């Protein structure tokens, strides 16, 4: 049963898509894969990943699912003569809809266990925060895994550990192997409370592991043209070889002192209230904190790596908000606490508004290519070169809307004479005239308009 709160969550995800439709380099593989499955289908030679394979291979299972679900809407858009750019919006909204549905399943379980007021505050917190719903439509392995994790949380709340395994094992085996570190304390708690037996857990877990890895190997070996298990190679690269540190190193405490405060904002003060007033929340906190403690041992850290913990923290915080809400008229202390909690929600909303506006200016490459099509739409047989910064900040195959144009992302080019147009971060290009410049986010100012912008991508046209 869908409720207003589920629709509200979906609407916020869609708003994020509309405000920031383009994607960055870390989302590139999955987005290009979705495009290629939709538009090239069995013509593997035309797929982007053979030209730009990335550091480690990624699974095609997520892109295939989103492509299949999106294909009817893409077909309608094509017949309505929309460009491929419309398909970018479609696939991201479809992915966001999948996450919104999975979240609604968790919300229903919260409703069943803790009551409708708690589930209401849970959705309010999710909607007011920035990161959870910002990432919910972004084609990252973490996002594909998040959908399954939310189904797993629903089963965990209902103490159905077989269904929990049915969600978490594919999530870990196909998309993000570190989810084993989150599943382990949850399963140990299930064994301790005798909600599942050890033989049943091992039997179901092994069966699902074999099925998940076999499915991934069968499909991904076809698309990559060699025998492989993508997430196995990712695990080997990140953990055994420990090469992820090449993308930056953060201190052990970074998730606790930087990532979570930014992701949770006003939800944080109410977490201790929920823990203190409702003992049922304590095992949930213990499990996610164990995951965070273990995962913090890896030196390379990004907020999206722990996106799965946000719903649990929000659920516990929602219990705190609910207790303060129902007792707000009991005495002046509760009334004061309730007004403070409203201030926390307002603070969360304000930080999200600022972060959302900033995010809109973080994709100059995507806006540059769209602007080029608008300004040079009458040009026939254009040959466009896209530099590294443009490719990393929003350019994708969905943006290559002209069939009579050629688009090149060739790197280390020294002779640009064969190109008619350029997207470049360089402020001057010999033999070309500047036709536009696209601004991007540079920083925050303590005066209006608060956000500092500066030109990041320049559009060039070959001189006559």
pLDDT in tens, 247-299: 788 999 999 999 999 999 999 999 999 999 999 999 999 999 999 999 999 88
| Percent helix, strand and coil across the chain, each to the nearest 5 | 65, 10, 25
pLDDT in tens, 9-42: 999 999 999 999 999 988 999 999 999 999 999 9
Q: Is the pLDDT of residue 80 over 90?
A: yes
Query: What is the H or E stretch that residue 433 is in?
Result: strand 432-444
Q: How many CB atoms lie within 10 A of CB 73?
A: 16
pTM of the predicted model as reported, rounded to 2 decimal places: 0.95
Q: What angle do CA 43, 44, 45 make, to 5 degrees?
A: 95
pLDDT in tens, 293-330: 999 998 889 999 999 999 999 999 999 999 999 998 88
169: CB partners within 8 A, 6+ apart:
183, 205, 208, 209, 212
DSSP letter at 179 equals G
């Amino acid at each position: 049963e869908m409720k207003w709160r589920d629709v509200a969550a979906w609407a916020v995800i869609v708003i994020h898509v509309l405000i920031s439709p383009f994607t960055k380099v870390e989302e590139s593989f999955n987005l290009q894969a979705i495009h290629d499955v939709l538009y090239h289908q069995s013509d593997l030679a035309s797929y982007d990943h053979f030209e730009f394979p990335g550091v480690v291979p990624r699974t095609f299972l997520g892109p295939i699912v989103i492509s299949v679900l999106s294909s009817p809407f893409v077909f309608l858009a094509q017949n309505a003569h929309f460009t491929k750019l419309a398909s970018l919006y479609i696939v991201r909204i479809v992915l966001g809809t999948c996450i919104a549905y999975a979240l609604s399943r968790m919300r229903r379980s919260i409703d069943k266990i803790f009551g409708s007021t708690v589930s209401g505050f849970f959705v309010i917190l999710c909607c007011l925060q920035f990161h959870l719903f910002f990432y919910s439509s972004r084609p990252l392995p973490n996002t594909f895994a998040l959908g399954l994790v939310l189904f797993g949380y629903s089963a965990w709340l209902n103490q159905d550990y077989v269904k929990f395994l049915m969600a978490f094992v594919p999530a870990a085996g196909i998309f993000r192997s570190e989810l084993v570190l989150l599943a382990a304390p949850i399963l140990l708690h299930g064994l301790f409370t005798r909600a599942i037996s050890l033989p049943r857990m091992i039997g179901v877990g092994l069966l699902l592991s074999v099925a998940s890895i076999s499915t991934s190997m069968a499909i991904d070996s076809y698309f990559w043209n060699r025998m492989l298990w993508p997430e196995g190679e990712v695990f080997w690269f990140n953990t055994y070889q420990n090469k992820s540190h090449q993308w930056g190193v953060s201190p052990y405490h970074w998730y606790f002192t930087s990532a979570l405060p930014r992701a949770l904002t006003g939800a944080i003060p109410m977490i201790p209230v929920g823990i203190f007033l409702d003992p049922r929340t304590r095992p949930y906190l213990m499990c996610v904190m164990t995951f965070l403690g273990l995962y913090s041992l890896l030196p390379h850290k990004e907020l999206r790596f722990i996106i799965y913990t946000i719903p649990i923290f929000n659920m516990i915080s929602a219990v705190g908000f609910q207790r303060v809400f129902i007792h707000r008229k009991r005495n002046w202390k509760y009334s004061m606490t309730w007004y403070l909690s409203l201030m926390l929600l307002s603070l969360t909303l304000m930080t999200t508004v600022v972060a959302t506006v900033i995010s809109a200016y973080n994709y100059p490459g995507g806006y540059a290519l769209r602007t080029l099509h608008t300004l040079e739409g009458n040009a026939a047989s254009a040959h466009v070169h896209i530099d590294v910064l443009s490719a990393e900040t929003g350019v994708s195959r969905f943006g290559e809307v002209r069939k009579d144009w050629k688009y090149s992302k060739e790197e280390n080019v020294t002779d640009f004479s064969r190109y008619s147009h350029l997207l470049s971060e360089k402020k001057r290009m010999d033999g070309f005239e500047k036709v536009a410049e696209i601004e991007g986010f540079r920083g925050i100012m303590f005066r209006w308009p608060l956000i500092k912008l500066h030109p990041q991508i320049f559009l060039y046209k070959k001189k006559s």
